[in-house]
Structure 1
């Protein structure tokens, strides 16, 4: 009997060890994905996606950046697996300037860009010679000019690609004075200090400054904007299963509902 008991005990131990080994093997299959993002709304959206990705065996780590340069540097040097903070025109310009090969893995949301003013409550009140503070983000000059053109404040010259238009490409018939560009992150502070008549502010920085684009912006982009924010990766990585799962989750109804409910039109999910 003792021998039989010992044999059964040995078999039990082997079974338990095998089960533990199997469990450890299955847990080791979990993939870790590190994504760089702007604090608002990108990192908030990613954090909402974390439990959804966990169910798919993906451990999502979010690394927050406070500027628009370091996330692409970190991605190009493979310190992170992806980033989520920029639109395609910015990515194209970065690739061109830095000879990198970063690609769009999927469009996620639109942050309607706004023109803000403490001085003017109506576009029709804007006088000739009004001062305009723009950012030093070259890829968004066309975006700002498109907004101004939409309200009849400037005219982009015929034959110019409006997305890549610059100050040299406009008919400035109201003689607007464009001040020296500053970093996008400094724009809300300039607005609070009232250093110009009009301010072109990215929605993520507007939100961080407690501005409500739908209420506070004098001019605001619509959902037809070509400046959708994307998840960017190194070329070839867009085919990886974990990246595809990330995009699928960010396109899910759960995340779309979260975006609509939390940001109330200040951020619009791509459909």
Structure 2
């Protein structure tokens, strides 16, 4: 397991262990740590680089909640694993974009360009839908699309799938790379440089997620309220300068 824990040693407080990806999720959680402490809650943030472990550990009862995903990803996890993790509140929306270190615009994407995209089913589908909408491929949708569903590929693009959290590290090795907003920020990539970017899409709001047995419990509801308060909105607006938008 690749993770680290941000916690403050406390006594007599109720622990709240939350799995999160580093940017901006853990940073937003850090912001609400103090108001939660005022409510007697010790927020412990466990940081993950992967997108599978936070759900697996939440389902196993080793986390009280997690904060890293949008609803299509959560729905797919529940469907594949038979779990019933539940969304609690939406917190923010990140851009999802198509980037290149060598190509200036979409029209300049050449034949046989190599394209790196995320490998999990939900984000393969999201990537292919974007390429279809941009007219770079034709990919009819019958559920979650895969590269085998591509019906027309006039530029004969070559697709390579990578674990989602590794995409930032292959930017220089491919003509075109899909990046999530948090990855772009972690790697110092301005989302304004994207060849194309999906912004403010409420269907991909990032949610605080819990289990059915604790979603309405005191500590999770207190976190939900802290994440959806006006001061958190102001923090998101000021810290991320439009690259991340509040979803509440």
Instruction: Tell me whether the two structures share a fold, i.e. TM-score over 0.5.
Output: yes
Query: Aligned partners of 2:152, 2:243: CA distance in 1, in Å?
Result: 29
Query: Aligned partners of 2:181, 2:44: CA distance in 1, in Å?
Result: 24
* C-alpha contact (below 8 Å) 2:94/2:244 kept by paired residues: yes
How far has the Cα of 1:97 moved from its partner?
A: 2.1
- Give 2:243's aligned residue: 266
Query: Alignment RMSD, CA only?
Result: 1.9
- Give 1:42's aligned residue: 25
Structure 1 ranges of 4+ moved more than 6 A: none
Cα shift readout 1:15-71 (whole Å, capped 9, x = no counterpart): xxxxxxxxxxxx84x422110100111100000011122223322111111211211
- Give 1:171's aligned residue: 151
How far has the Cα of 1:165 moved from its partner?
A: 2.5
- Give 1:74's aligned residue: 57
- Give 1:104's aligned residue: 87
Any unmatched runs of 5+ in structure 1? 1-26
1:245 aligns with 2:225: no
* C-alpha contact (below 8 Å) 2:114/2:160 kept by paired residues: no
* C-alpha contact (below 8 Å) 1:132/1:176 kept by paired residues: no
- Give 1:230's aligned residue: 207
Cα shift readout 1:132-152 (whole Å, capped 9, x = no counterpart): 111212211121123223322
* C-alpha contact (below 8 Å) 2:31/2:232 kept by paired residues: yes
Any unmatched runs of 5+ in structure 2? 1-10
- Give 1:257's aligned residue: 234
- Give 1:196's aligned residue: 174
Cα shift readout 1:127-186 (whole Å, capped 9, x = no counterpart): 3332211121221112112322332222332x635xx33223343342442433111222
Query: Aligned partners of 1:177, 1:127: CA distance in 2, in Å?
Result: 8
Query: Aligned partners of 1:143, 1:203: CA distance in 2, in Å?
Result: 14
Q: Within 5 A, what are the aligned runs for 1:130-141?
A: 130-141=113-124
Equivalenced residues, count? 238
SS of the aligned residue for 1:156 comes to coil
More divergent stretch after superposition (41-50 vs 86-95): 86-95
Query: Aligned partners of 2:17, 2:179: CA distance in 1, in Å?
Result: 28
When normalised by structure 1's length, the TM-score is 0.81
More divergent stretch after superposition (238-247 vs 146-155): 146-155
